[in-house]
Amino acid sequence: MSSVCKCDCGKLSSSMNDNNWNRHINSCKVRKFKRNSHDIKSFFSGNKNIKSKLIHQITAVKNTIFDVNNDLNEDQSTPVNKESLVECEIQKDTEISSCLQNKDDMDMDIIKNDPAIFAKMSILSLEIKDYILKFGPCQPLQDDLPNKIFPYEINNEKIKRSFNDKHYYRILSDKSKCHRDWLSYSLSRNKIFCIHCMLFGTNLHSNLEKSWTKEGFNKWKNCSFAIQRHELTPDHVTSSLKCKLRQNNVPILPSIENNRKTQIAMNRQVLLELIDIVIYMGRHNLAFRGHYEDWFSNSRGNFKDLVMLMSKNSGPLAEHINCIQQNGKRETSFISWQRQNQLIEAIAKDISFQIRSFIKTVRMFSISIDTTFDASRNEQISFIIRYADEVTGEVHERLLAVKESPITSGKKLYDIFVNVMEAENLNWKEELVGQSYDGASNMRGNYNGLQAHIKEESPQALFVWCHSHRLALVVKQAVSCNSNAVDLFGNLETLYIFLWC
């Protein structure tokens, strides 16, 4: 650099080359800009309060919806009376305790909707607002009061003045009366309030509005003028319009919840019919899915074809199918292959639970295990539980589980057996009294067979070589010496496969 320059921060360029000096100048500009700038959040400081209020309101609405959800499965039982919850809060008010002592002398509605009680609440929930609107303003007449007269107020001039029930009506120019449904008299505090501004007011913190929403008005000398002046203010007119719209419109939450309950009831009916279809197909050993399952195919598989057949006599099921065909993947489907598997698994879990519950009552059982290849040439291991009814002595045999394993060694089969017992929560080490398998070495081996591994943990589990397998071996050896007999049993097996498949 030919000359020495000075930065705004006071640093000289004498000891810097051009590159470093330019970097220093740029960094100083950035620091100066940040120092003179303010965080954008500082311009929206009021948003935190607004956001907290919105979160509180949203939470209140969600809590209301969740309260309705908890009652969804209790439609036949007695519903919770929300009015009683509000009345419990009213009972806690000490200023109306004297009024409650004289409840036999007056209408209880005068106490239930006393505006002084709600004026003390910082936040009026949706339930309390509905409660106030249901009972309307508190407007007792002189005949409703214990002494048949409104309480007197003595001013500085020692003149007695009291509220007059004529203020409940406004005299129009044509001498007709208009009911002031916003004017509410508090018997406990001998003051009048505006329930419209209390519920839907926007400027409640002004001194003028406080006297009608929080503190109450009791200057009876200027009562008529004050009432007329208040009902003509813009804030009161806006609050009254909001109140009328609220009363005339259908409540949003109840209507949404009614639609939701209707949809849930229909979905439950659809699921009940689908469960019946799954049980029917499982009982008759029918395949569920077909090669082409679109709605325009002639053969959509056994499950979908049965669903279409049942929908002819089922309104909910027909409506559900219609929604799926119109909306496609946007509509939640109960008949897709994923839902079919979920229904099968749910029914299987319920059956296992019933078997498990019965086994725990009899406290002893035996097990039979065998392996076979399925159509895809995978090794399938079936677990059969046998137990006897303690009352009737009848023997029951139930399929507990089917597992797949490419390895069928004795140790591997034992590990699978332990996993099945633990999954079904069965105390096999103490309650297993018998085991029966075929004559394969991995099953009946005295050292590494399945029965040997089980006996190490459950010595009382007696092993019995399956008599059906032994008979099959005897028959096979007996007929193998005669070619005609071999042909006969071979033809019988082929005929059986042909008829079954």
User: 182-208, pLDDT tens digit by residue?
Assistant: 999 988 888 999 999 988 887 665 666
Mean per-residue pLDDT, 159-171: 87
CA atoms of 259 and 253, how far apart (whole Å): 10
Question: Is the residue at 95 inside a domain?
Answer: no
Are 222 and 152 within one domain?
yes
Are 240 and 282 within one domain?
no
Q: Structural domain of residue 288, as residue ranges?
A: 261-335
More confident residue, 379 or 14: 379
Mean per-residue pLDDT, 210-237: 88
Listed residues 193, 217, 248: the one ending a domain: 248
**Res. 81: pLDDT tops 70:** no
408 — pLDDT class (breaks 50, 70, 90): confident
CA atoms of 476 and 340, how far apart (whole Å): 42
84 — pLDDT class (breaks 50, 70, 90): low
| Cα separation of the two ends of the chain | 98
Are 243 and 120 within one domain?
yes
- Specify the 3-state DSSP secondary structure of 306: helix
Please count the other Cβ atoms lying within 10 Å of the Cβ belonging to residue 442.
Answer: 19
Are 210 and 330 within one domain?
no
Please count the other Cβ atoms lying within 10 Å of the Cβ belonging to residue 193.
Answer: 27
User: 349-365, pLDDT tens digit by residue?
Assistant: 899 888 888 888 888 89
Mean pLDDT of the chain: 80
User: 114-162, pLDDT tens digit by residue?
Assistant: 888 888 887 888 778 888 888 888 888 888 787 788 888 776 667 788 8
Please count the other Cβ atoms lying within 10 Å of the Cβ belonging to residue 102.
Answer: 12
**Res. 40: pLDDT tops 70:** no
**Residues 202/176, Cβ–Cβ less than 8 Å:** no
Q: Report the pLDDT value the prediction gives residue 2, as an integer from 0 to 100.
A: 53
Please count the other Cβ atoms lying within 10 Å of the Cβ belonging to residue 278.
Answer: 18
Question: Is the residue at 130 inside a domain?
Answer: yes
Instruction: Provide the token pair at 9.
Output: 């921060």
User: 292-306, pLDDT tens digit by residue?
Assistant: 777 777 788 899 999
**Res. 286: pLDDT tops 60:** yes
Residue 425 gets the label, from left (phi > 0), alpha (psi -120 to 50) or beta, of: left
Residue with tokens 């003595």: 154
**Res. 38: pLDDT tops 90:** no
CA atoms of 317 and 323, how far apart (whole Å): 10
Are 330 and 371 within one domain?
no
Are 244 and 265 within one domain?
no
Listed residues 248, 280, 303: the one ending a domain: 248
Listed residues 208, 224, 248: the one ending a domain: 248
- Specify the 3-state DSSP secondary structure of 401: strand
DSSP string across 160-173: EEE--GGGGEEE-T
Taking the model in full, what pTM does it have? Answer: 0.49
**Residues 403/380, Cβ–Cβ less than 8 Å:** yes
Q: Report the pLDDT value the prediction gives residue 479, as an integer from 0 to 100.
A: 76
Are 108 and 242 within one domain?
yes
Question: Is the residue at 256 inside a domain?
Answer: no
Instruction: Provide the token pair at 321.
Output: 């199918």
Least confident of 120-124, 396-400, 436-440: 120-124
CA atoms of 219 and 379, how far apart (whole Å): 94
Q: Report the pLDDT value the prediction gives residue 13, as an integer from 0 to 100.
A: 75
**Res. 68: pLDDT tops 80:** no
CA atoms of 295 and 314, how far apart (whole Å): 18
Question: Is the residue at 64 inside a domain?
Answer: no
**Residues 384/454, Cβ–Cβ less than 8 Å:** no
**Res. 49: pLDDT tops 60:** no
- Specify the 3-state DSSP secondary structure of 383: strand
**Res. 94: pLDDT tops 70:** no
- Domain with 367 in it: what CATH number? 3.30.420
- Estimate to the nearest angstrom the gap between the alpha carbon of 389 and the chain centroid: 40
Are 167 and 138 within one domain?
yes
**Res. 276: pLDDT tops 90:** yes
**Res. 100: pLDDT tops 60:** no
Are 386 and 321 within one domain?
no
Q: Report the pLDDT value the prediction gives residue 415, as an integer from 0 to 100.
A: 92
Total domain count, the chain: 4
Mean per-residue pLDDT, 160-165: 86
More confident residue, 377 or 312: 312
Least confident of 6-20, 48-62, 156-170: 48-62
Question: Is the residue at 29 inside a domain?
Answer: yes
Least confident of 58-67, 155-164, 242-251, 484-493: 58-67
Q: What is the CA radius of gyration of the chain?
A: 42
Q: Report the pLDDT value the prediction gives residue 255, as an integer from 0 to 100.
A: 76
How far lies 57's CA from each of 45, 53, 60, in Å? 20, 6, 5
Give percent of the chain with pLDDT exceeding 90.
Answer: 16
Q: Report the pLDDT value the prediction gives residue 281, as an integer from 0 to 100.
A: 93
User: Quick one: which of 204, 205, 188, 208 has its CA closest to 196?
Assistant: 204
Question: Is the residue at 498 inside a domain?
Answer: no
What is the 3-state composition of the chain as percent helix, strand, coil, each rounded to the nearest 5?
A: 55, 10, 30
Least confident of 46-50, 101-105, 167-171, 211-215: 101-105
- CB half-sphere exposure, 184, CA atoms < 13 A: 33
User: Quick one: which of 427, 410, 401 has its CA closest to 349?
Assistant: 401
Question: Is the residue at 404 inside a domain?
Answer: yes
174 — pLDDT class (breaks 50, 70, 90): confident
Consecutive H or E run containing 89: helix 82-91
Q: To the nearest 10°, the Cα dihedral for 287, 289, 295, 298?
A: -50
CA atoms of 186 and 108, how far apart (whole Å): 13
User: Quick one: which of 423, 432, 440 has its CA closest to 385?
Assistant: 432
Are 242 and 266 within one domain?
no
Q: Report the pLDDT value the prediction gives residue 8, as an integer from 0 to 100.
A: 74
CA atoms of 200 and 238, how far apart (whole Å): 8
Residue with tokens 């009021």: 46
Are 215 and 299 within one domain?
no
Question: Is the residue at 58 inside a domain?
Answer: no
**Res. 44: pLDDT tops 60:** no
Are 300 and 369 within one domain?
no
More confident residue, 172 or 113: 172
CA atoms of 55 and 414, how far apart (whole Å): 57
- CB half-sphere exposure, 452, CA atoms < 13 A: 14
How far lies 501's CA from each of 67, 183, 289, 361, 491, in Å? 55, 84, 17, 40, 15
Q: Report the pLDDT value the prediction gives residue 249, as an integer from 0 to 100.
A: 73
Q: 410-415: long-range contacts (C-beta < 8 A, 24 or more apart)? A: 410/441, 410/442, 410/443, 410/445, 410/448, 410/449, 410/450, 410/452, 410/453, 411/448, 411/453, 413/369, 413/381, 413/442, 413/443, 413/450, 414/450, 414/453, 414/454
Consecutive H or E run containing 379: strand 379-388
91 — pLDDT class (breaks 50, 70, 90): low
Q: Report the pLDDT value the prediction gives residue 54, as an integer from 0 to 100.
A: 46
- CB half-sphere exposure, 37, CA atoms < 13 A: 9
Instruction: Provide the token pair at 371.
Output: 């392996």
